Chains A and B, each alone.
Chain A
Amino acid sequence: MFETLHRYRYHYLMLLPGLILGGMFVFYPIFAACYYALHDWSGFNSDKVFVGFGNFVKLFSDPIFWDAFRRSLIFLLGTVPLQMTISLVLAVLLNNQLLKMSTWFRTMIFLPVVTPVAVIGIIWTFLLSPFNGPVNGLLLDLGIITRPVDFLGSTDTVMPSVIGVYVWKWLGITMIYWLAALQTVPDDVYDSAKLDRCRGAKLVWYIVLPIVLPFAVAITLISAVGALNVFPLIMSMTNGGPFFASEVMEIFIYRTAFATGDGSIPRLGYAAAAGVFFGFVVLSLTIGQAIATRRARAGAKEIRS
């Protein structure tokens, strides 16, 4: 073993910076969170009491935690299918080189992706404002509504509104993934399809989609994990309110860890337990989708051959 280490010492040396940074910013926080999750600790003082799985037991009987968990799932289910479908349609349209100004459209659709989330959140708060907000103004002018809608201030409309903004913000990146996937379809497949008079929707549905299916699984995975990381958008738009109505898991964890603004003491241990649980959920989602990707890839190979 030492001989191998010596022989590849430069390779290992090259790995070192990555390992150190990964250790500091990825592995250490994971282990620290697992450690804190087993303690009753505010994070402020040295009174750190080992409680074993006590935090998890409390967590599983906390209705506010489950509500936040449910909202995270609703957010995931509300955003990913929308994002995937709309961006696929756009990608298929913009993949056509003959379409005029396709580059311009791609850039415009991609622009929100590179805009900071907090800026997007603040701008949309103004756009959706029931007082002089342009969205309400438009809806009123069109006669769709008779009085302004408090999109972010009503418990009924806050989640659909945030979901809508999220999809708009990240549509561009999903579209780019789809475009990359579409460009892997070999030209001869299109040519063969043309010879068989397979065009338009039929071509997309029966030829293109089966080939890009493995990418679809990967894109879904990326989008799903992204949809569970919505902290800055929700913080800048609603702060989790009104009355918990947009409090997803990350906001729950943050609020519990720092207890900002409501005078109560933080519960870092409890928040860490919620974080660990949530991490496992995301991990299982990832594993599940990795298996699905493998299966889809095997299926796509059969089609190509």
Chain B
Amino acid sequence: MKTQSSGGLSRRAFVLGTTAGLAVSAMGAGRARAQSVPAAINEIPNGATFRWIDSGDQKAVFYKKFFADYAKDRGIEVVYDALPWNEIAQVVPLGVRNNSAHDVFALPQNVNPADAVAQGWVQPYDDFIPNIAEWKAGFPAGAFLPGINEFDGKTYGLPFTSNKRYGTHLLYNKAYMEAAGFDPEDKPLSWSDFREAAKKITEAGQGRYFGFIIGGNQLGRWSQTVRNMGRMAGASAGGDSVIEADIDFRTGDYVFDSDQYIAAIELLIAMQSDGSVFPGIMSMNAPQARAFMPQGAAGMILQGPWNIGGWEGQNPEFDFGVSSGPVPDEGPTGKLTIGQGALAPNTMWLFKGSDLGPIAGDIFHYLGTVEGQTAWANIVGAGDPPIFPEALDGADMSHRSKAILQHFNEVIRVGPNPVVGNSELGKVIGAFQAPEVNFARTVQGLVAGELTGVAQEMKALKDRYNTALDAAFAKAKADGAAVDRADLVFSNWNPDEDFGAADY
């Protein structure tokens, strides 16, 4: 590692640097810190313009600082674009089609890696990291998986953040919650407590603030909320990808019409009927909804750990707590399941048309070292946890970030990843066309009152998904893939335990 100033260090510079460093580190997690730039592992083309795109949030805080330092050190320009997922879904495919894509990009959420490789969107980066096998060995087991980020023995995706998190835990206004008589840090709110707390906070707010807020215009919030509440209530759905997120791996059946999912939706509808949900949720997206929290306009939100660093950095006066998402009244009866591997949306890919592989390899390499991972953890914290567990141990994080990471460890288990079992399932994912009235829209429609009869709607939804899944399997088979719906069944899966490589 070398520091940015490659020349000799004067005493004055040392004193100034040390003082600045101490001041910055005192700011704590989620704030900008002095970063060092690692020594280059490749020859960097002088004056190049290197472009990188991802979904931003707390990641942007790290990258904006790191890339500024990196560009200065290497004598290049780095353009970093942070865009919401719906814009990535347009910008990246159009860029690939026009051969003007960013050098490194996050894949749109509706493009599966196998397709991206097969269609020539991305290139392997093995040649851009010397001794790549040794470097890969430094990652925790399961970070590199054939069919996920490795294809034909080549390395394509950079899996540098952990999958061990969920995006619907409780974040709450401490003063409001205390006044309502609940302490979620001491004991997670039960579903009844959650409803009661929302009601009491709303009553106390007298129109100035409300109990619960959700970005109801952003469809994914509805599906994630119900899915995670259902899973923690024992619905035993597993997986991450679009085809199996709501499938019980023990049976291979969808769980949309399970008692747990239905109860979770009914709870949201009941809270809406109580009048304890923030008015206007259906016309606001998730960032708009979460922005109301530090303003004191809502008492609770079910969101992700990426808010912690943001609020601590930008709204230091906002006193908020973090805890588990609501659990059933009888206590948590299920675990949250994640697929084996890294966090897919944060996995970064090298554009096939890029001739700046040496720069990408240089950056990828750093992000896959303990130093890079620790620098990442120091800034991004629990929002997008690093994939190296040891980076978390040494990271400077707030107590909230530590608390939520501990909670993730308690409630999250690694489930089977069907693509690891049969990599040809990637073709099914690629062929899967979700019903137009999909899970998220159905929940939105039910809460908005446009649809009625939760049980009937969820049964109809299950039928639609089964039809769509059967069609995707049929198409994949017609295209020559050796796949079967039985590939989604793992009868030896215990949702309470991690599913390891030996269990496939």
A263's partner among B110, B216, B280, B437 (CB-CB below 8 A) is: B110
Q: Are B217 and A260 in contact (CB-based, < 8 A)?
A: no
Given contacts A242-B450, A265-B433, contact A46 B119 (CB under 8 A): yes
B283's partner among A241, A261, A265 (CB-CB below 8 A) is: A241
Q: Which residues of chain A from 166 to 187 have any CB-CB distance to chain B below 8 Å in the complex?
A: none
CA of A148 to CA of B281, assembled, Å: 13
Q: Are B441 and A243 in contact (CB-based, < 8 A)?
A: yes
Q: Are B282 and A242 in contact (CB-based, < 8 A)?
A: yes
Q: Are A242 and B86 in contact (CB-based, < 8 A)?
A: no
- CB proximity of A20 to chain B, nearest CB, Å: 19
Residue of A nearest to B87 (CB): A260
Determine whether A53 belongs to the interface, using a CB cutoff of 8 Å to chain B: no
Give the residue among B210, B283, B444, B449 with the most A Cβ atoms within 10 A.
B283
What chain B residues lie within 8 Å of A243 (beta carbons)? Answer: 441, 444-445, 448, 450-451
CA of A244 to CA of B445, assembled, Å: 9
Given contacts A44-B115, A131-B297, A265-B433, contact A239 B217 (CB under 8 A): yes
Determine whether B26 belongs to the interface, using a CB cutoff of 8 Å to chain A: no
Determine whether B186 belongs to the interface, using a CB cutoff of 8 Å to chain A: no
What chain A residues lie within 8 Å of B217 (beta carbons)? Answer: 238-239, 241-242
Residue of A nearest to B120 (CB): A46
Determine whether A305 belongs to the interface, using a CB cutoff of 8 Å to chain B: no
Given contacts A259-B110, A264-B433, A265-B430, contact A130 B450 (CB under 8 A): no
Q: Are A258 and B89 in contact (CB-based, < 8 A)?
A: yes
Contact with B along A130-169 (1 / 0, CB 8 A): 1101000000000000001010111100100000000000
What chain A residues lie within 8 Å of B110 (beta carbons)? Answer: 259, 263-266
Determine whether A112 belongs to the interface, using a CB cutoff of 8 Å to chain B: no
Q: Are A45 and B119 in contact (CB-based, < 8 A)?
A: yes
CA of A158 to CA of B89, assembled, Å: 27
Contact with A along B278-291 (1 / 0, CB 8 A): 11111101000000
B434's partner among A148, A244, A264 (CB-CB below 8 A) is: A264
Q: Are A241 and B280 in contact (CB-based, < 8 A)?
A: no
Determine whether A237 belongs to the interface, using a CB cutoff of 8 Å to chain B: yes
Residue of A nearest to B298 (CB): A131
Determine whether B219 belongs to the interface, using a CB cutoff of 8 Å to chain A: yes
Q: Are A263 and B242 in contact (CB-based, < 8 A)?
A: yes
What chain A residues lie within 8 Å of B280 (beta carbons)? Answer: 129-131, 133, 150, 152-153
Contact with B along A207-221 (1 / 0, CB 8 A): 000000000000000
Q: Which residues of chain A from 34 to 49 have any CB-CB distance to chain B below 8 Å in the complex?
A: 43-46
Q: Are A237 and B441 in contact (CB-based, < 8 A)?
A: no
CA of A262 to CA of B438, assembled, Å: 8
CA of A245 to CA of B441, assembled, Å: 12
Q: Are A237 and B109 in contact (CB-based, < 8 A)?
A: no
B220's partner among A238, A242, A244, A261 (CB-CB below 8 A) is: A261
What chain A residues lie within 8 Å of B118 (beta carbons)? Answer: 45
Q: Are A242 and B219 in contact (CB-based, < 8 A)?
A: no
Q: Which residues of chain B from 322 to 366 have any CB-CB distance to chain A below 8 Å in the complex?
A: none
Determine whether A71 belongs to the interface, using a CB cutoff of 8 Å to chain B: no
What chain A residues lie within 8 Å of B285 (beta carbons)? Answer: 239
What chain B residues lie within 8 Å of A158 (beta carbons)? Answer: 283
What chain A residues lie within 8 Å of B206 (beta carbons)? Answer: none
What chain B residues lie within 8 Å of A44 (beta carbons)? Answer: 93, 111, 115, 119
Residue of B nearest to A239 (CB): B217
Q: Are B433 and A267 in contact (CB-based, < 8 A)?
A: yes
Q: Are B219 and A262 in contact (CB-based, < 8 A)?
A: yes
CA of A244 to CA of B437, assembled, Å: 9
Determine whether A64 belongs to the interface, using a CB cutoff of 8 Å to chain B: yes
Residue of B nearest to A45 (CB): B119
Give the residue among B90, B282, B440, B448 with the most A Cβ atoms within 10 A.
B282
B89's partner among A152, A154, A237, A260 (CB-CB below 8 A) is: A260
Q: Are A261 and B433 in contact (CB-based, < 8 A)?
A: no
Given contacts A45-B119, A153-B216, contact A262 B449 (CB under 8 A): no
Determine whether A125 belongs to the interface, using a CB cutoff of 8 Å to chain B: yes
B282's partner among A148, A154, A266, A267 (CB-CB below 8 A) is: A154
Given contacts A44-B115, A242-B444, contact A153 B279 (CB under 8 A): yes
Q: Are A43 and B93 in contact (CB-based, < 8 A)?
A: yes
Q: Are A262 and B434 in contact (CB-based, < 8 A)?
A: yes
- CB proximity of B141 to chain A, nearest CB, Å: 28
CA of A261 to CA of B85, assembled, Å: 7
- CB proximity of B140 to chain A, nearest CB, Å: 27
What chain B residues lie within 8 Å of A133 (beta carbons)? Answer: 280
CA of A43 to CA of B440, assembled, Å: 24
What chain A residues lie within 8 Å of B373 (beta carbons)? Answer: none
- CB proximity of A264 to chain B, nearest CB, Å: 4
CA of A258 to CA of B94, assembled, Å: 11
Q: Are A258 and B90 in contact (CB-based, < 8 A)?
A: yes
Residue of B nearest to A152 (CB): B283
Determine whether B436 belongs to the interface, using a CB cutoff of 8 Å to chain A: yes
Query: Which 10 A-B residue pairs are closest in the complex by CB-CB distance?
Result: A153-B282, A130-B279, A260-B86, A264-B434, A152-B283, A242-B282, A243-B445, A243-B450, A45-B119, A263-B242
Q: Which residues of B contact A (CB under 8 A)?
A: 85-87, 89-90, 93, 109-111, 115, 118-119, 210, 216-220, 242, 278-283, 285, 292, 297, 430, 432-434, 436-438, 440-441, 444-445, 448-451
Q: Which residues of A contact B (CB under 8 A)?
A: 43-46, 62, 64, 125, 129-131, 133, 148, 150, 152-155, 158, 237-239, 241-245, 258-267
Write 22 A-B pairs (CB below 8 A) sorted by A numbering.
A44-B93, A44-B111, A45-B430, A64-B436, A129-B280, A130-B279, A130-B280, A150-B282, A150-B283, A152-B282, A152-B283, A153-B281, A153-B448, A242-B216, A242-B444, A242-B445, A242-B450, A261-B85, A262-B220, A262-B441, A263-B110, A265-B433
Besides A237-B283, A260-B85, 16 more A-B contacts (Cβ < 8 Å) are A44-B111, A129-B279, A129-B283, A133-B280, A150-B280, A153-B280, A153-B281, A153-B283, A158-B283, A241-B444, A242-B217, A242-B282, A245-B450, A262-B438, A263-B242, A264-B242
